[in-house]
Amino acid sequence: MSQKPKKKKGLGVPLSEFKFDPSELDLKLTRSLITVIDGYRIYRCFDLSFIVKRQKKGELPRGFIKQYPTMRGILHKFAAVGPSVPGVEKTLKHRQIIAFAALALLTISAPLLVFGWIFRVDWIVAINIPLALIAVGSVFLSAITNAWYNRKVAWAIFEYTSNNSTLLAKEHEMLFDWVQSLIYHAARIMRMEDIKPDKKLTKFYNNDFKGVEIIQEPSGLRKHYTMKIITKHRKN
């Protein structure tokens, strides 16, 4: 007689038995999960620590706590893709070096600037303008290079995944289904609580869902869609 494999503590529901049920989630967490999970579909991998923080505060329903380890395991598969893409690790190291250099410049120049201004140290006062330029420049350097390297990494991952369309194919379907379920759940909450959907616009990274209306499309520095969740009942 065959025996079912024992579940290891902390691993959640086995994937073969898993079915996502968002029915216990509040609207705030539902909308956050929509954005986060949809971001993972394009390998934009957000920090998931906000879920752990909510759990520590006792703000997560038991049903979701049971589901989350399985969901986290799937999301971690997407997070693991980026570092494996050729050139990404090297790019991230370059970004860290420049960020550290900018921070070091700011750490040295800013206190000196303040110290010289308060205590009127002659030699520091004499170089106030260069120090100020260094302080401001280091902030701009960090911001600009960080954005540039992030874009470079995003394009590398996009090209890699586009050339490997079968990568995590099953998991992609699962993430789509989770987000679609969350959309329907959010709409249900807003209907029940008489919340106007115009007041609860949500960020998306894909536009292939039902039950939403696009308000703003990605453009310039905005990389996401802004969408309104439609609260009218779905037609069969």
The 10s digit of each residue's pLDDT in 27-76 is 999 999 999 999 999 999 999 999 999 999 999 999 999 999 999 999 99
Tokens of 124: 């520091």
Q: How many CB atoms lie within 10 A of CB 58?
A: 6
How far apart (Å, rounded) are the C-alpha atoms in residues 44 and 223?
11
pLDDT at 126: 65
pLDDT at 1 over 60: no
- 150 in a structural domain: yes
- 158 in a structural domain: yes
- 94 in a structural domain: yes
- 222 in a structural domain: no
User: How many domains does the structure of the chain reveal?
Assistant: 1
The partner residues of 229 in beta bridges, in order of sequence, read 212
- 131 in a structural domain: yes
Q: Which domain holds residue 121?
A: 86-162
- 32 in a structural domain: no
Q: What is the DSSP letter of 219?
A: B
pLDDT at 12: 62
Which parts of 11-58 are beta strand (E)?
none
Assess contact for 197 and 228: CB atoms under 8 A: yes
When comparing pLDDT for 10 and 212, which is higher? 212
pLDDT at 9: 47
pLDDT at 143 over 90: no
- 128-162 and 88-119 helices, crossing angle to 10°: 160
pLDDT band at 102 (very low <50, low <70, confident <90, very high): confident
- 109 in a structural domain: yes
pLDDT at 21 over 80: yes
- 152 in a structural domain: yes
pLDDT band at 8 (very low <50, low <70, confident <90, very high): very low
